[in-house]
Amino acid sequence: MEYLPKPRALAGDPVIYVCSPYAGDRAENARRAEEYCRAVWEHGGIPLAPHLLFPRFMDDSDPTERDAGLRMARKLLTMCSEVWVFGGRISAGMAAEIQAATDQHIPVYMIGNLTGAATPPDIINQGGH
């Protein structure tokens, strides 16, 4: 896939889906997701990170509840303007979110790990626009 620089600071309060690892070291990954949400907000977006919300009332270790959480997250993703992918690895759940966004023609941007000041991300698909 071709990488293109992401233009501009965001305008118009777009809702940005925060795609980042959760499984593994959940406490550390949740802390990082909070940082990623802040970066989205600092760039003018409204961050949406279902993996920070759903584990508060759902059991991620219960396969039925995990599947329900993933289904709800994918539904929320369809309501977003863009997906920003954070972190040093793409988990299976993240890959599914990226594919769902691509299928819905939602732009997906690869940010990676934040170091220092957040910089605008690179696009990894143009969402058909």
| pLDDT tens, position by position, 36-76 | 999 898 888 999 999 999 999 999 889 999 999 989 999 99
Identify whether the C-beta of residue 97 lies closer than 8 Å to the C-beta of residue 74: yes
pLDDT of 4 reads 36
CATH of the domain at 26: 3.40.50.450
Task: Name residue 82's beta-bridge partners.
Answer: 16
The yes-or-no verdict on residue 122 having pLDDT over 80 is no
> What one-letter code names the amino acid at 5?
P
Tell me, yes or no, whether 125 lies in a domain: no
Quote the domain boundaries for residue 32: 14-115
